[in-house]
Structure 1
Amino acid sequence: MLLSLQQLKVMSAIEHCRTAALGGHVEACADCGQRRIAYNSCRNRHCPKCQGAAARTWLAEREADLLPVGYFHVVFTLPAEVAVIAFHNKTLVYELLFKAASETMLTIAADPKHLGARIGITAVLHTWGSAMTHHPHVHMIVPGGGIAPDGSRWISSRPAFLLPVRVLGKLFRRLFLTRLDALHDAGRLSFFGSMAHLGDRRAFLRHLSPVRKKRWVVYAKAPFAEPEAVLAYLSRYTHRVAISNSRLIAFDKNSVTFRYKDYRRDGANRQQVMVLAIDEFVRRLQPTSQGDQAI
């Protein structure tokens, strides 16, 4: 498996985190003389052992932004046909995903037929699913209301309804595909291997033809009860890595066994166990080392 220089740096940091390779310091008790060696952390943002403190710091800084209102959880997901394009053009397409999703929310919320207000958004980009497969999507935390266009008052949404998801999906699809077409037309997209044929304009348009007609699903969850619950929920998404140590069940020189959630199932059946060969586990881990983002 060929890794980029950046991916090699990430893997090296994770491998050497809290080991003698990074040095450390000695802690000693002045009374009993007991000594303990504490090895240094790598502080790499992709390391599952180093993100707890960073997440707590990030969330503490966000506390001042919370309002005493209910909050909604909204998710924008790219269809599989578009996700494969994102895999080859991560920086451009992830940025486009952020912009199209946020513009969709702001536009529909400002429409007098819906909320008629200027809203605020906290958005987190995830590029992977629970099974560590490429699955780019944006999680948003949105207050249940916004400021009137003239700034004179607060306009509240309905208690369990923010914006119509079908309307959001249609605008998101149009904004995203229009700008994706423009990127391809400008020659800014690159394709490799089995997807190299998408560099051809006609092949690219044929590939996207089905997604222009299908429904792009936008998920919206009922509001949280208290702002504190928003922070508790968001803490599971900010500074999150592809897989935490707590999900690992077993590993040896041949395979890795871990827990994941299958969102096609309900209840207790959602929790599943997967066994991957070492090479496949590392392959799935690598695409996540491209830098998920939060705004």
Structure 2
Amino acid sequence: MVGVIKNIFIDNWDEFEELNRGNVRSIVYKEIKKMLNCGSLDMGYIEFKCEACGEIKKVGFRCKSRFCTSCGKKKSEDWADEMVSRLIRTKHRHMVFTIPKELRNYFGKNRKLLALLPQCASQAIMSWFKDLNKKEEFTPGIVAVIHTFGRDSKWNPHVHLLVTEGGAGKFTVWRKVTHIHYESLRKRWQKLLLDALELNLINVKKQFRKLKNDLYKKLKNGFYVYGKGEVKTAKQAAKYVGRYTSRPAIAESRILKYDGKRVVFYYERHEDGVRVEEELDVLDFIGKIIRHIPEKNFKMIRYYGIYAKNTRHKNKFFKLIDEKVAEFKKKMKNWETRILVTFGVNPLDCPNCGRKMKFNDIVYYGVSVKEKLKKQIFISNEKKIEQLMHDYGVIKGIIRDKIEPVFA
């Protein structure tokens, strides 16, 4: 079944592409093409066969695009599980570091600047922890997720973080920290980000410096930081992390109406929780959501402090979720199990006789891997047989012109 977002692009992408030729990023073309061909048998499929009755089932390859509502949801769940498996057994705090609207367009024009968001936010947190004790230099664990959209799907870069309520010191194994001075954190975040932007915006340095001074005057308490979300369990952590990772800018369930020309969707306003319905021309809707497709290989999730890849604290603490449990959950994420758990039906049960279907072939763009391998094996074995026959003939003296003459 094709989702409404995919239908919107099937119906209107060609027109949008023609009207915006030269103004669309190359990665967007690639991701849209992948999404539109997701599950198409023309692109390739896995073939299963029932040995009892000969029934064949073809399962098309998924696109694995973060923009695809189906694949993006799975990717979000997989990333959430992977991240939760890294967390240590302690309380975490869910924090959100935001930026004023005056800065948003800088990140839209230069997407590489988005990397500054988790970098500066984590620096603000780690510097505060280290200031608790200069000798100990306590280091927390931080998982940072970059987000480019708000609830209304508009361009609104910010960063979500899971932060340990405590840190590892140089001499003390762990110090519990339940209170963070948010005013101090806000001012650190403001200074670190504005300084980093100034260093990177060389072409508009004079213009940005004026804006920087204006923002210091306007926002004397720093940029807004939210940090009231307490995370105590692995289940809560997965919920928080899964909500903000690798998902499209809008869920299918939030689209109320699409008539081929207009799209009606809703969101809950952050300020007061009021449900707001918005109606857009379909081409404006497409432009709105493709803006949030990240650049190729750009990491939307970053790890800092004791969660950094090469940290000396890596194996010092108990994990929030047992490693064997995490591995088992990973194995249970395969295609067959996911459908069985979701719909209560095993997709590999033969629809004719009920027997279990078995893997039979992989087909890429109409080319059977099974037949290709058979051909390669046949050619390889044919050459081996020819060589063996030749060697046998030489040994038996059948091929005389290949034998050196023997003189008495």
TM-score tier (shorter)? 0.7 to 0.9
Q: Which residue of 2 aligns with 1:192?
A: none
Contact map agreement 1:70 1:226 (CA 8 A) in 2: yes
Equivalent position to 1:94, from 114, 117, 126: 114
Structure 2 residue 207 is matched with structure 1 residue 203: yes
Residue identity in the other structure for 1:241: P
Contact map agreement 2:90 2:165 (CA 8 A) in 1: yes
Contact map agreement 2:94 2:228 (CA 8 A) in 1: yes
Contact map agreement 1:144 1:156 (CA 8 A) in 2: yes
Q: Which residue of 2 aligns with 1:131?
A: 152
**Whole-angstrom distance in 2 between the partners of 1:63 and 1:176:** 28
**Whole-angstrom distance in 2 between the partners of 1:131 and 1:32:** 52
Deviates more, 1:135-144 or 1:9-18: 9-18
Q: Which residue of 2 aligns with 1:257?
A: 264
- Alpha carbons of structure 1 residues 6 and 70: separation in structure 2 relative to 1, 3 Å: same
Q: 1:1-295 to 2 correspondence within 5 Å? A: 1=20, 2-27=23-48, 29=50, 36-91=57-112, 93-112=113-132, 117-150=138-171, 152-158=172-178, 161=179, 163-184=180-201, 186-187=202-203, 199=204, 201-213=205-217, 214=219, 215-266=222-273, 269=274, 271-291=275-295, 293-295=300-302
- Alpha carbons of structure 1 residues 203 and 66: separation in structure 2 relative to 1, 3 Å: closer
**Whole-angstrom distance in 1 between the partners of 2:277 and 2:55:** 42
Residue identity in the other structure for 2:230: P
- Alpha carbons of structure 1 residues 21 and 252: separation in structure 2 relative to 1, 3 Å: farther
What is the CA distance between 1:183 and its match in structure 2?
Answer: 1.8
Report the 3-state secondary structure (helix = DSSP H, G, I; strand = E; otherwise coil) of the residue aligned with 1:249. strand
Report the 3-state secondary structure (helix = DSSP H, G, I; strand = E; otherwise coil) of the residue aligned with 1:275. strand
Deviates more, 1:208-217 or 1:18-27: 18-27
Contact map agreement 2:139 2:169 (CA 8 A) in 1: yes
Contact map agreement 1:81 1:208 (CA 8 A) in 2: no
Larger Rg: 2
Residue identity in the other structure for 1:208: K
Contact map agreement 1:24 1:39 (CA 8 A) in 2: yes
**Whole-angstrom distance in 1 between the partners of 2:41 and 2:279:** 30
What TM-score results when the alignment is normalised by the length of structure 2? 0.62
What is the CA distance between 1:36 and its match in structure 2?
Answer: 4.6
Contact map agreement 1:22 1:42 (CA 8 A) in 2: no
Gaps of 5+ in 2: 1-19, 303-408
**Whole-angstrom distance in 2 between the partners of 1:173 and 1:127:** 18
What is the CA distance between 1:31 and its match in structure 2?
Answer: 5.7
- Alpha carbons of structure 1 residues 222 and 132: separation in structure 2 relative to 1, 3 Å: closer
**Whole-angstrom distance in 2 between the partners of 1:67 and 1:119:** 11
**Whole-angstrom distance in 1 between the partners of 2:142 and 2:107:** 23
Task: Count matched residues.
Answer: 274
Gaps of 5+ in 1: 188-198
What is the CA distance between 1:120 and its match in structure 2?
Answer: 0.8
Contact map agreement 1:70 1:227 (CA 8 A) in 2: no
What is the CA distance between 1:28 and its match in structure 2?
Answer: 5.1
Q: Which residue of 2 aligns with 1:195?
A: none
**Whole-angstrom distance in 2 between the partners of 1:257 and 1:25:** 37
Q: Percentage identity across aligned positions? A: 24
Contact map agreement 2:41 2:59 (CA 8 A) in 1: no
**Whole-angstrom distance in 1 between the partners of 2:210 and 2:132:** 37
